[in-house]
Amino acid sequence: MDYAALTRGAARTPAPEGRLAYHADVQIQMQGRNKLLLVLESRLVDAASNTMRAQSRFEHVTRLDAGLPIAALDRLASPDRSAIVQKLLTGIDDHIETMIDAYACRPLEGVLQLSGGRLTLPFGSKDGLTRHHLAFSEGQDTPYIIFEIDTLQDHAAVLRPIDQNRTARSLAGMRVRFMEVAK
């Protein structure tokens, strides 16, 4: 933020579709006489819709040198506090990487939306889909319904049922899941 944005407000430009933002809430608290507790609440948020896609919590206790609590806090405020900061931040990179990996490895599934007479999903090639992926859903008359990708964009896909006797209108609202592609 700059001064003009803080005093006059800033026009918010819409975020590009499919972008994720990382949000973090950080708390640091003294525990007892010589321990610091760091709590990090991490969230991945869809920037366009402001919908939370993943969240994770990280806690780390750092032991400070023995002594009075005031002395420990004084060490944190001193110019040579890099060793304590390093101790405090231990594990954060792994925490964030684990959360992002878990999000990236989630199964691709969603609810079919009817748009212009076609069945659409809000994820596409940049979310891990390829033209070779097949989707399936539980059927009413049959155990499942299989779908193929008709059109694939960066963050959108249009599906069509392999059984051409099924209409898009009758399938709207169904939850579909994509099968893994063998490598």
CATH number of 109-178: 2.40.10
Strand order in the sheet with 51-63: 20-31, 35-46, 51-63
Q: What is the CB neighbour count within 10 angstroms for residue 14?
A: 7
Per the structure block, which two tokens stand in for 161? Answer: 């049922």
Measure the CA–CA gap between 112 and 173, rounded to whole angstroms.
5
The pTM for the full model equals 0.57
Q: Which residues pair with 28 in a beta bridge?
A: 38
pLDDT level of residue 13 (50, 70, 90 thresholds): low
Question: Residues for the chain: how many in total?
Answer: 183
CA distance 32 to 154: 51
23-53 pLDDT per residue, tens: 999 998 988 888 889 999 999 887 777 778 8
**Share above pLDDT 70 across residues of the chain, in percent, rounded to a whole number:** 79
What does the alpha-carbon distance between residue 73 and residue 34 come to, in Å, rounded to a whole number? 9
CA atoms within 13 A on the CB side of 144: 11
Phi, psi at 91, each rounded to 5°:
95, -10
Domain extent listing, the chain: 17-104, 109-178
Residue type (1 letter), 82: S
